[in-house]
């Protein structure tokens, strides 16, 4: 192996690699998992990625692609005990072109989401994917996970922003699918196989994205949801009154809001009322959006759905509301083991899910903390359960089994937008029919017969090659 690694270093050149001990932050993910690798490869061009992959394929070495390492499902670092090369896309960070006339941007995979958002804004355009990790997550990672985020309601998921891709396949071949066509029915639309594939089918090196007209005016409302059972009804009202101007519709737990205000003193308390649930909505458009938002605000009060609310009156107030939203991440607030779901259910079954899940969890562990926050406008809620510490080992499996079964009985998914990685890999298998799982295996085996691309992620270990 020492000789092989020496050859690999030579192939990558002096700037193209780091020793694992010199790149600790590449090897620790957001869940705190610390891992090891043979070498951290940092190629700067598609050709170098291709040479690296070809070399690894010839030597049967596993490759774990990594963008910003902000995923929350154990996806972008090698599994414990695996001998793999970690392939960081961080040096492939060139903005190749922002074309305002064509409404497209062509970029390398290691460009940060925020960098592309800013470049698009300068050209009076919007790069749609947006979430709290925007300053660290890369566009390649966003596509490899098909990230969702805060404005899926208005623009769709990351998948819907991709026009073309360049991918290095697991044998080192480069597929140049960098097209910018709206329509192209000339066969299978192969780019979609790589979107959401979590680095298991190839390495995305360059991308063409769709841009949208900028929405210079926005206003947000944070409101107390007085009657949870009417969440769906209020969402319908917001959609009817806001139309395309409704960009985001989020549910925030009162527990999380209080914890965030306590922990981050720079955040301003938006409402005096302390409630179990709040809604956070954003309307955006070219012109004044205050009229439909005010209409919604009034209707919510008249119909007894809302009991207190604030409408942002300045950019600073609006930012404060969204900063509160970004601090809803639960693991920072509870010092207990965490069980988690990235729930997707049909929008109008969200309340049923929340009510039934709590009943089922408490039947197993009466003192468990249930915590839910999310993009309920698109049917997605991040659901966590913190069991009583002393009973965690005993109750975790039954709680997972009950809540998973509940989600499936509602026609939902346990993996909405964060992806499968290594965290959900076993539970996801149970969500798929044999037919569906077999099709996934066939795809994986066709592209990556040796199973060298991000083994053990997305598909169970035995299916990796
Ligand atoms: C504060 C915070 C908020 C978040 N909010 C959201 C949210 O609202 N919605 C959401 O969807 N996610 C969210 N995330 C999760 C995360 O930001 C996304 O999953 C993101 O898309 C990961 O991008 P990344 O560049 O960090 O990829 P990484 O974490 O480095 O990698 C993710 C996966 O993609 C693969 N990969 C990365 N780059 C490539 C490439 N070039 N070619 C092939 N495979 C590649 C990796 O192997 C891995 O499987 C959040 C994370 C944080 C920390």
- DSSP H stretches of helix in 76-230: 113-122, 139-145, 152-155, 191-194
177 close to 165: Cβ distance less than 8 angstroms: yes
The CB of 90 under 6 Å from ligand 1? The reply is no
Structure tokens at 231: 């969440």
Q: Which of 33, 65, 206, 249 to mutate to test the pocket of ligand 1 (most atoms within 8 A of CB)?
A: 65
Structure tokens at 170: 């697991």
Q: Which atom of ligand 1 is nearest to the CA of 458?
A: 49
The CB of 76 under 6 Å from ligand 1? The reply is yes
> Worst-scoring range by mean pLDDT, 30-34, 51-55, 297-301, 445-449?
30-34
200 CA → ligand 1 middle, Å: 14
The CB of 57 under 6 Å from ligand 1? The reply is no
Q: In terms of Cα–Cα distance, which of 209, 211, 208, 205 is closest to 109?
A: 205
In whole angstroms, what is the distance from residue 195 CA to residue 147 CA?
A: 10
In whole angstroms, what is the distance from residue 56 CA to residue 39 CA?
A: 12
Average pLDDT over every residue of 141-158? 96
What digits encode the pLDDT tens for the residues 330-389? 988 998 999 999 999 999 999 999 999 999 999 999 999 999 999 999 999 999 999 999
204 CA → ligand 1 middle, Å: 13
Confidence category of residue 464, pLDDT binned at 50, 70, 90 = very low
- DSSP H stretches of helix in 339-450: 350-364, 392-409, 425-431, 434-447
Which phi-psi region, left, alpha or beta, contains residue 390 (left: φ > 0; alpha: ψ -120 to 50)?
alpha
Give, using CA atoms, the residue closest to atom 28 of ligand 1. 69
137 CA → ligand 1 middle, Å: 6
In whole angstroms, what is the distance from residue 33 CA to residue 413 CA?
A: 25
What digits encode the pLDDT tens for the residues 199-251? 999 999 999 999 999 999 999 999 999 999 999 999 999 999 999 999 999 99
The answer to whether residue 465 scores a pLDDT higher than 60 is no
If you write DSSP's letter for every residue of 263-303 in order, what string do you get?
Answer: H-TTSPP--S---SEEEEEEEEESS--HHHHHHHHHHHHHT
Q: Which of 37, 66, 452 to mutate to test the pocket of ligand 1 (most atoms within 8 A of CB)?
A: 66
Average pLDDT over every residue of 3-13? 96
Structure tokens at 83: 């001998």
The CB of 350 under 6 Å from ligand 1? The reply is no
User: What's the chain's Rg over C-alpha atoms?
Assistant: 23
The CB of 418 under 6 Å from ligand 1? The reply is yes
Residue with tokens 């049909």: 346
Q: Cα 59 to the chain's mean position, in Å? A: 33
Mean pLDDT, the chain, rounded, equals 96
Q: Which atom of ligand 1 is nearest to the CA of 92?
A: 41
What digits encode the pLDDT tens for the residues 278-332? 999 999 999 889 999 999 999 999 999 999 999 999 999 999 999 999 999 898 8
Going by C-beta distance under 8 Å and a sequence separation of 6 or more, which residues neighbour residue 174? 46, 47, 50, 166, 167, 168, 205
Give, using CA atoms, the residue closest to atom 23 of ligand 1. 141
What digits encode the pLDDT tens for the residues 410-463? 999 999 999 999 999 999 999 999 999 999 999 999 999 999 999 999 998 755
Cβ-based neighbour number of residue 76 at 10 Å: 27
Give, using CA atoms, the residue closest to atom 33 of ligand 1. 198
The CB of 374 under 6 Å from ligand 1? The reply is no
- DSSP H stretches of helix in 196-289: 231-242, 254-263
């Amino acid at each position: 192996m020492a000789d092989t690694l020496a050859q690999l270093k030579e192939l990558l050149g002096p700037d193209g690699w780091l020793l694992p001990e010199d790149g600790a932050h590449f090897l620790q993910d957001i869940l705190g998992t610390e891992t090891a690798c043979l070498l951290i490869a940092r190629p700067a061009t598609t050709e170098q990625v291709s040479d690296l992959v070809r070399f690894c394929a010839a030597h049967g070495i596993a490759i774990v692609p990594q963008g910003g390492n902000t995923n929350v499902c154990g996806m972008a670092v090698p599994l414990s005990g695996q001998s793999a090369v970690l392939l960081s896309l961080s040096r492939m960070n060139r903005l190749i072109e922002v074309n305002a006339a064509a409404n497209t941007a062509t970029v390398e995979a290691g460009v940060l989401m925020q960098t592309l958002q800013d470049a698009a804004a300068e050209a009076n355009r919007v790069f749609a994917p947006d979430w709290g990790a925007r300053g660290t997550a890369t566009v390649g990672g966003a596509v490899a996970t098909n990230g969702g985020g805060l404005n899926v309601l208005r623009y769709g998921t990351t998948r819907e922003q991709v026009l073309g891709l360049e991918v290095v396949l697991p044998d080192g071949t480069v597929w140049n699918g960098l097209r910018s066509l709206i329509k192209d029915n000339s066969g299978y639309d192969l780019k979609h196989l790589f979107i959401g594939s979590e680095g298991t089918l190839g390495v995305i090196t360059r991308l063409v994205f769709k841009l949208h007209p900028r929405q210079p005016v926005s206003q947000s409302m944070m409101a107390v949801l007085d009657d949870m059972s009417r969440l769906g009804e209020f969402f319908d009202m917001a959609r009817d009154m806001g139309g395309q101007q409704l960009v985001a519709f989020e549910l925030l737990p009162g527990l999380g809001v209080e914890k965030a205000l306590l922990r981050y003193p720079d955040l301003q308390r938006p409402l005096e009322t302390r409630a179990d649930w709040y809604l956070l909505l954003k309307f955006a458009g070219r012109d004044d959006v205050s009229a439909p938002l005010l209409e919604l605000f009034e209707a919510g009060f008249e119909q007894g759905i809302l009991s207190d609310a604030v409408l942002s009156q300045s950019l600073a107030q609006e930012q404060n509301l969204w900063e509160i939203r970004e601090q809803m991440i639960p693991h920072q607030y509870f010092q207990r083991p965490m069980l988690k779901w990235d729930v997707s259910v049909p929008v109008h079954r969200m309340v049923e899910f929340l009510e039934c899940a709590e009943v089922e969890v408490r039947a197993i562990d009466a003192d468990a903390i249930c915590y839910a926050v999310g993009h309920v406008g698109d049917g997605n809620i991040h659901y966590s359960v913190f069991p009583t510490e002393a009973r965690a080992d005993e109750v975790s499996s039954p709680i997972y089994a009950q809540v998973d079964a509940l989600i499936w009985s509602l026609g939902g998914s346990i993996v909405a937008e964060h992806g499968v990685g290594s965290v959900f890999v076993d539970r996801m298998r149970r969500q798929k029919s044999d037919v569906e799982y077999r099709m996934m295996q066939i795809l994986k085996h066709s592209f990556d017969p040796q199973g060298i691309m991000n083994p053990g992620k997305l598909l169970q270990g035995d299916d990796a090659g």
